[in-house]
Chains A and B, each alone.
Chain A
Amino acid sequence: MTMAKRTVVADTAPRRVSDRLLRWETILVLLLVLVIVGNTAISPYFLDLYNLSDATYNFSEKAIVALGMAFLIIVREIDLSVAAIIAVASLATGLVAQMGAGLPILLLVGPLVGIACGAFNGFLVTRLALPSIVVTIGTMSLFRGIAQVVLGDQVINKYPSSYTAIGQTYAIDWPPLPYSFLIFLIFAVVFAAVLHRTAIGRKLYAIGNNPTAARFSGIPVDRIRFWLFVLTGALAGLAATLLTARIGSTRPNIALGWELEIITMVILGGVSIAGGSGTIPGVVLAVFILGLITFGLSLINVPGIVISVILGCLLITSIAVPIIIRRLLNRRQP
C-alpha cells in the first residue's frame, strides 16, 4: 500500500439488476401476486372491490400496530404486550362509554391509555435496563390481568352508534376505504418517510446495528427506545379504539394472540429479529400477503386455525428458503 497513489472513490456501487431482484421486497411482491392469482382462482368472490375492502377490516388494526413494532424490532427490542394493551385500552374505552362520554373522548381514551402502558414498558426497559422480551411478557400478563380483574366475565357492549360507525363504515365511499384501512395507509406512508428519509430513521438503523457506537455518536439511544415503546403503545391504543368500534363490545380476551400475528407481519416483511435492517414497504407487503391469504381462504370456509397453520408454514419457509438458496449458491462458487 503506497502512499503516492490516490484512489478515486465512486459515489455508489455499480447497479446490477440482480441486486434489485434478490431483494426481499421483490420476493414479497412476487408472493403477493401469487396470492392474488391463487385466490382469484379458488373463489369468484375474491376480486370484488367491496369484498376486498371488507377484508381490510380484519388486518388493518394489527397492521397499524405492526408499523410501530417494526421500529421496535429494528432497534433490537420487542413488545409482546401489544395485544394486552389493546385489551386495557378497550376496557378504558368501555368504562368511559358507560359513563356516557361523547365521541371525542371515546376516540382519545384508547391511545392515551396505550401511551401510558407504552411508557411503563419503556421505563422498565430503558431506566431499569431490563430485557424487553421478559418485561413485555410480564406486562402482557399484567395489563390483560387488569382487564380481567375489572371485567371478570362481563362484556361491555353499550357503545353509541356514532362511535361504532368509525369501525363499521367507510371513510371514503369510492373507492370504499374503511377508516382503519385509510389510517393504516396514511401511517404507512408517514412511517416509511420517517424510516427511510429522515435523520431519525438513520439513527434507528444505527442503534439496531451497534447501540454502543450509536451512543458514542451522540444518539440518545435510551430516549429513542423509550419513545418507541410509547409510540407502539399509542398505536395499540388506537387499534383498540378501532377494534372496539368495529365489534361494538369489550371483553377481557379481546385481541387474544394478536401480538404473535403482528410480529409475524413484521418478520415476514423482512425486518430481521436481530435488529438493524428491514423496510416499511416490506412490512406493508407482508400485511397484504397475510391479510389476503386469510381472506381468500376464509371465503372458501377454511377454518381459522387451519389458516394459522398455513401462515405459520409461510413464516418458516420465508426465512428458510433464502438461507437454503444462499447455501446452494455458495457451494457453486469456487
Chain B
Amino acid sequence: MSLLLRYRELALAVIIAIMVTGIGAYAPAFVGLDNILRVFNDTSILAMLALAQMMVILTRGIDLSTASNLALSGMISASLAQNYPDLPVITYIALAIATGLLLGLINGAFISLLGIPPIVMTLGTLSVFRGMIVVYGGGNQVNASEMGEVFQAFPKVTLLGLSSLFWIMAAVAIAVWLFLNMTRTGRAIYAVGGNPVAARYCGIDLGRQQLIVYTVAGTISGLCGYLWVSRYGVAYSEIASGYELTVIAACVIGGVSIAGGVGTVTGTLLGALFLGVIVNALPVMQITPFWQMAISGAVILAAVIVNARAEKRDVKLILPEARRTAAGGVR
C-alpha cells in the first residue's frame, strides 16, 4: 500500500497533463475553468463504473453486464418518477441502488455458488438485464418531461462549481479506497486475485470475495443508473449500450491488470479521466465525434502495450557478470 502515486500512475498523470496543455495551446477554451469542471462532471459516472469494474477485475473476473445493470436500474427508477413525481429524491436513488444491488447479487450468486465463469455469466446477464427493460416496460420510453422536477434536479445541484455527480463520485472513490486498502476484506480481494491457491491456503474463500465484489459493482451500477437517467433526461432500453467496454478500457488504461491482483483506485480514476479528457477534447478541437471510437481504441492498445512492458518478466541471472551489472537483489 502506498499513499504516493506509484511510477505508473505518475506517468499517466503526466501524460494527461501534457495532453491538456497541448490541447489548451491549440484551443484556450479547453483549459478554461468552465471546461475543466465540465470534464470532471462528465467523467464522474465513468469513474464510478470503472472503480466497480476494477474490483471485479482484481478478483480475476469481469463484469460485462455493468451497462445493462445501469440501464435497467435507471429505467425502474425513472418509471417510479414517472408515476410518482413528487417523492423525495432519496427514494428514487434508493430504488436504483436497490435494483443494482439485486442484479449484482444475481451475478455474484451464480458465479460464486455455481462456479460459472464470470465472462459467461455476465455475457448472459448483459442481454437479460437489458432485455428486462422491454419485458418490464414494453418498449416504453421515459422523457425528461415525464420524470418530474425532483428526479432531475439532483444532478444539477452544485457545490464549488462541481455538480453532485462529482461529489458522489468523490465519496464513492474514497469509500472504495478505504475498503480496498484499509479493510481485511479489501486486502483479501487483492490476495484472491493475485494467487487464488495461496489465498485459499490462508483461509480466504474466493467465492465469498466474488459474491462481495459483484454485488458492490452492481450497487454502484445501480446508483449510476439513476445519475445517468436523471442527468441526460431520458430512459429507454438502449441507454449506455456498449458502455461496459469503455469502462473496461478505463480500467486497462489505469493500470488494472486483466490477470487479477493488480490495480489501484488512483490509477483507475486517472484512466477514466484520460478517456474523459479525450471525449471532451474532440469537439473543442473540432474533430467530429466520429473519431472518438478510433482514438479510444488506439489509446487502449497503447495502454495495454505500455502496461505489458512495465510488467517485464524476470530474466534469469546466472552468469556472475550478469548479476553484477543488474541491480542487486533485496537487502
Question: Is there any pair of Cβ atoms, one from A and one from B, under 8 angstroms apart in the complex?
Answer: yes
Among B114, B293, B295, B308, which residue has the most Cβ atoms of chain A within 10 A?
A: B293
B125, CB-defined interface residue at 8 Å: yes
Quick one: which of A80, A140, A305, A320 contacts B237, CB cutoff 8 A?
A: A305
B301–A145 touching, CB < 8 Å: no
User: Complex formed: what's the CA distance from A68 to B245 in Å?
Assistant: 23
How close is B304's CB to chain A, nearest CB, in angstroms? 5
Q: How long is the Cα–Cα vector from A143 to B121 in the complex, in angstroms?
A: 27
The residue of chain A having its C-beta at the shortest distance from the C-beta of B249 within the complex is: A137
- A264-B290 in contact (CB<8A): no
B288 touches A134 (CB 8 A): no
Please name all residues of chain B whose beta carbon is closer than 8 Å to the beta carbon of A146 when the two chains form the complex.
Answer: 294
Interface size (A, Cβ < 8 Å)?
Answer: 46
Contact check, B300 vs A305: say whether CB atoms are below 8 A apart.
Answer: no
Q: Is A316's CB under 8 angstroms from B116's CB?
A: yes
Contact A145:B296 (CB < 8 A) given known A124-B301, A140-B245, A312-B125: yes
Which of B114, B123, B134, B297 contacts A263 (CB under 8 A)? B123
Interface SS of chain A:
helix
- Chain A residues contacting B258 (CB-CB under 8 Å) are 131, 133-134
Instruction: Given the known inter-chain contacts A133-B258, A134-B304, A323-B114, please indicate yes or no for A145 contacting B294, CB distance below 8 A.
Output: yes
Contact with A142, one of B110, B121, B298 (Cβ below 8 angstroms): B298
Task: Decide if A315 touches B304 in the complex (CB within 8 Å).
Answer: no
**Cα–Cα, bound, A5→B219 (Å):** 64
- B248 in contact (CB, < 8 A): yes
Output the residue of B116, B304, B305 with the most chain A CB within 10 A. Answer: B304
User: Which residues of B sit under 8 angstroms from A315, Cβ to Cβ?
Assistant: 120, 123-124
Residues of A within 8 A of B126 (CB): 260, 312
Whether A138 pairs with B297 at a CB distance below 8 angstroms is yes
Q: Is A144 an interface residue (CB 8 A)?
A: yes
CA distance A306 to B123 in the complex (A): 15
Q: How many inter-chain contacts with C-beta < 8 Å in the A-B complex? A: 138
Q: Which residues from B are CB-within-8-Å of A309?
A: 127-128, 131-132, 135
Closest partner residue, chain B, to A145 (CB atom): B294
Q: List chain B residues, Cβ under 8 A from A130.
A: 304-305, 308
B300 lies within 8 A of A138 (CB): yes
| Interface residues in B243-265 (C-beta closer than 8 Å to A) | 245, 248-249, 252, 258-259
Given the complex of chains A and B, what is the CA–CA distance between A128 and B294 in angstroms? 21
Answer whether residue B117 sits at the interface, using C-beta atoms and an 8 A cutoff. Answer: yes
Establish whether residues A141 and B131, one from each chain, have CB atoms under 8 Å apart when the complex forms: no
**B276-306 interface mask toward A, CB cutoff 8 Å, 1 = contact, 0 = none?**
0000000000001011111111101100110
Among A80, A263, A319, find the residue whose CB has the most chain B CB atoms closer than 10 A: A319
Quick one: which of B98-125 are within 8 Å of A by CB? Answer: 110, 114-117, 119-121, 123-125
Cα(A145)–Cα(B123), bound, Å: 23
Residues facing B in A115-158 (CB within 8 A) are 124, 128-131, 133-135, 137-146, 148-149, 152-153
Known: A129-B308, A148-B294. 11 other contacts (CB 8 A): A134-B300, A137-B249, A141-B296, A141-B300, A267-B120, A273-B117, A273-B119, A308-B127, A315-B120, A316-B120, A323-B116
- Pull 16 A–B residue pairs with CB atoms less than 8 Å apart, ordered by A: A80-B245, A128-B308, A134-B248, A139-B297, A142-B293, A142-B301, A143-B297, A144-B297, A148-B291, A148-B294, A273-B120, A303-B134, A305-B133, A306-B135, A313-B124, A319-B120
Q: Which 9 A-B pairs have the closest CB atoms?
A: A145-B294, A142-B297, A141-B297, A309-B131, A145-B293, A312-B127, A138-B300, A312-B128, A316-B124
Q: Which residues of B contact A (CB under 8 A)?
A: 62, 64, 110, 114-117, 119-121, 123-128, 130-135, 139, 237, 242, 245, 248-249, 252, 258-259, 288, 290-298, 300-301, 304-305, 308
